[in-house]
Amino acid sequence: MEDVQKHQAEIAMPIDRVGVKGLKVPLVVRERDSGIQHTVAQVSLAVDLPAEFKGTHMSRFLEALEHWSGELDYHSFRTLLDDIVGRLQARNAHARFVFPYFLRRRSPVSGTVGVMDYTCRVDGLLENGKLTFTLGADVPVMTVCPCSKAISDEGAHSQRAEVRILTRYTGLLWLEDLIEIGEKAGSCPVYSLLKREDEKFVTETAFAHPTFVEDVVRAAADGLASHPQVTWYKVEVESFESIHNHSAFAVIESGK
Q: Say if domain 7-255 classifies as CATH 1.20.1290.10.
A: no
CA distance 203 to 208: 9
CA distance 127 to 95: 12
- Domain limits of the chain? 7-255
pLDDT reported for residue 7: 45
Query: DSSP string of 196-230?
Result: HHHHHHHHHHHHHS---HHHHHHHHHHHHHH-TTE
Is residue 256 over pLDDT 60?
A: no
Least confident among 53-57, 100-104, 117-121, 135-139:
53-57
Say what percent of the chain tops pLDDT 90: 80
Is residue 6 over pLDDT 80?
A: no
Please give the mean pLDDT across all residues of the chain. 92
Contact present, 138 and 119 (Cβ < 8 Å): yes
Q: Position 225: which residue type? A: A
pLDDT band per the 50, 70, 90 thresholds, residue 4:
very low
- Tell me: the pLDDT tens digits for 164-206? 999 999 999 999 999 999 999 999 999 999 999 999 999 999 9
- 150 vs 163, which has greater pLDDT? 163
For residues 24-40, give the mean pLDDT.
93
